[in-house]
Amino acid sequence: MNEQDQWEFENRRINVSALPDMMDVELTQISPRYRVVNLSITAAVVIILVAILSFLRFQTFMVVPFNLNAFYPAIVTGVCSLGGLNLIYHFFADKKIKYCLREQDLVMQQGLFLRKIACQPILRIQHIELKRGPVERSVDLATLQVFSAGGSLHTFEIPGLRLNDAQRIRQYILSHKELNAK
């Protein structure tokens, strides 16, 4: 019982207003290249799709069944407008992805219409993964994934980090755990 009293006493002394607030952290933006990459990928996909469609429309050595040619303008408009929306979204939303590595946790903020701030205490991290797709590798970016016991739905993922930064964050987290979690 004695132990418990002590613990409660300690706990009571935490002054909540003096604690750091996760909504009030100075956040750094992820690499601006991430947005450029997303914009160019979207543009490339739209261009390739339109090119394929145009080829099918204007080629002469095959008959397109069901008179599908009539839908060509509609489909191209659809593809272009979806691509355009996507471009606009990435243009504004990618700038909003920000993160911060604090002594005890990782904070990330994202979202254009629905702002989402997530905070992952380093103590609860199970393992870490660096992911680099072909495009990311060509521009020296990496995605840092942090897994906790909260399940795969809540994997904490910071995209568009410079490889160096990502590696440094990983190193910090790994050495942090050895100091504190053991």
Instruction: Give me the least distance between CB of 74 and another protein, in Å please.
Output: 26
Judged by CB under 8 A, which stretch of 16-24, 39-47, 83-91, 92-100 contacts another protein? 16-24
Q: Is residue 156 within the footprint of another protein (CB under 8 A)?
A: yes
CB 76 within 8 A of CB 28: no
Q: Is residue 27 within the footprint of another protein (CB under 8 A)?
A: no
User: How many other β-carbons are positioned within 10 Å of the β-carbon of residue 52?
Assistant: 11
Rounded CA separation 105/173 (Å): 9
Interface residue with another protein among 131, 138, 140, 164 (CB under 8 A) is 131
Rounded CA separation 71/105 (Å): 53
Amino acid letter for position 149: A
99 sits in which H/E element: strand 98-101
Instruction: Give me the least distance between CB of 28 and another protein, in Å please.
Output: 19
Judged by CB under 8 A, which stretch of 43-51, 59-67, 76-84, 117-125 contacts another protein? 117-125
Residue 177, both tokens = 């755990």
Interface residue with another protein among 54, 77, 104, 164 (CB under 8 A) is 104
Instruction: Name the residue nearer to another protein (CB basis): 68 or 123.
Output: 123
Judged by CB under 8 A, which stretch of 46-54, 55-63, 81-89, 108-116 contacts another protein? 108-116
Instruction: Give me the least distance between CB of 140 and another protein, in Å please.
Output: 13
Rounded CA separation 176/182 (Å): 10
Interface residue with another protein among 32, 73, 84, 150 (CB under 8 A) is 150
Rounded CA separation 55/48 (Å): 10
Rounded CA separation 52/79 (Å): 12
Amino acid letter for position 145: Q
Interface residue with another protein among 36, 148, 157, 176 (CB under 8 A) is 148
